């Protein structure tokens, strides 16, 4: 697929929301001066409304984008409706954001108990905070795609469209696949891929771009010196897979990751 003017406008608008939200959240974190238990609620009162507003902006932008795409297929289609509460906030993970956004502080406390310096501990907590925030912003998009696509009967599948100047191998592999519209597209923190809805008279199968997939395999060979499409010398399933995380849904990651609890997720960025 080729990026259209609508794709570029939508992508730019979403990136703008990301930059604004992450900038404000990171400034709030670094400006705390103290990361004790008494600081948790102060930080949350200031930042959770910012994050929720960003999620709602992304959900609204995504719904409008999908509606415009659908008009090309069915100009007489009615406007889509979206319950923003169903695709933002607690609905994203099934966990209260108050609990989720205490985790960066726990990261700091754990690092300090391990003997790390305060600066190193705060940096670890800040990284955890950024990862969580990016995940929630991306979840607002994928949940919106699922909810809106249910109201667009002529769309059968979703595909991932790369739009960054540089794209990680995880997204590149995913872009060769098709997903049923009711399935959440696998995500990773910081992913800026477009999720595009498509019509189809028949199921094209899981792999929709064999040529690109072969190019990625060739790149793996060039990078590590070996390859095996039969999965013996190099098991590509161990390099790139989609794994279900109990709290945030499908996550692009590496085989061997185990998500035993909400504090145990480690996603490559």
pLDDT tens figures, 92-127: 999 999 999 999 999 999 999 999 999 999 999 999
pTM of the entire predicted model: 0.82
- Contacts for 14 with CB less than 8 Å, ≥ 6 apart: 58, 61, 62, 141, 192
- Contacts for 36 with CB less than 8 Å, ≥ 6 apart: none
pLDDT tens figures, 2-60: 678 888 899 899 999 999 999 999 999 999 999 999 999 999 999 999 999 999 999 99
- The torsion angle over the Cα atoms of residues 229, 231, 233 and 234, rounded to 10 degrees, is 80
Strands of the sheet with 157-161, listed across from one edge: 178-180, 157-161, 194-198
pLDDT value at residue 269: 33
Residue 264: pLDDT band (50, 70, 90) is very low
pLDDT value at residue 25: 98
For the chain, the first-to-last Cα distance in angstroms comes to 26
3-state secondary structure 113-135: HCCCCHHHHHHHHHHHHHHHHHH
Q: How many CA atoms lie within 13 A of 18 on its CB side?
A: 21
């Amino acid at each position: 697929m080729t990026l259209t003017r609508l794709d570029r406008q939508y992508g730019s608008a979403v990136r703008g929301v990301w930059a604004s939200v992450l900038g404000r959240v990171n400034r709030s974190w670094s400006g705390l001066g103290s990361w004790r238990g008494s600081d948790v609620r102060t930080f949350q009162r200031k930042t959770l409304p910012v994050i929720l507003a960003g999620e709602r902006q992304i959900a609204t932008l995504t719904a409008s984008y999908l509606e415009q795409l659908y008009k090309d297929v069915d100009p007489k289609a009615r406007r889509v409706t979206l319950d923003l509460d169903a695709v933002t906030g607690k609905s994203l993970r099934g966990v209260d954001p108050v609990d989720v956004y205490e985790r960066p502080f726990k990261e700091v406390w754990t690092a300090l108990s391990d003997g790390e310096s305060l600066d190193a501990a705060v940096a670890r907590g800040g990284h955890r905070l950024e990862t969580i925030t990016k995940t929630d912003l991306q979840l607002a998009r994928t949940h919106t795609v699922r909810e809106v696509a249910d109201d667009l009967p002529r769309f059968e599948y979703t595909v991932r469209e790369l739009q960054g100047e540089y794209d990680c191998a995880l997204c590149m592999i995913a872009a060769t696949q098709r997903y049923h519209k009711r399935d959440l597209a696998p995500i990773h923190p910081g992913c800026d891929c477009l999720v595009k809805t498509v019509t189809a008279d028949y199921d094209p199968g899981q792999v929709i771009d064999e040529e690109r997939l072969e190019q990625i395999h060739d790149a793996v060979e060039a990078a590590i010196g070996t390859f095996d499409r039969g999965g013996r010398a190099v098991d590509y399933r161990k390099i790139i897979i989609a794994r279900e995380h109990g709290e945030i849904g499908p996550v692009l990651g590496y085989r061997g990751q185990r998500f035993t609890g909400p504090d145990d997720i480690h996603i490559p960025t």
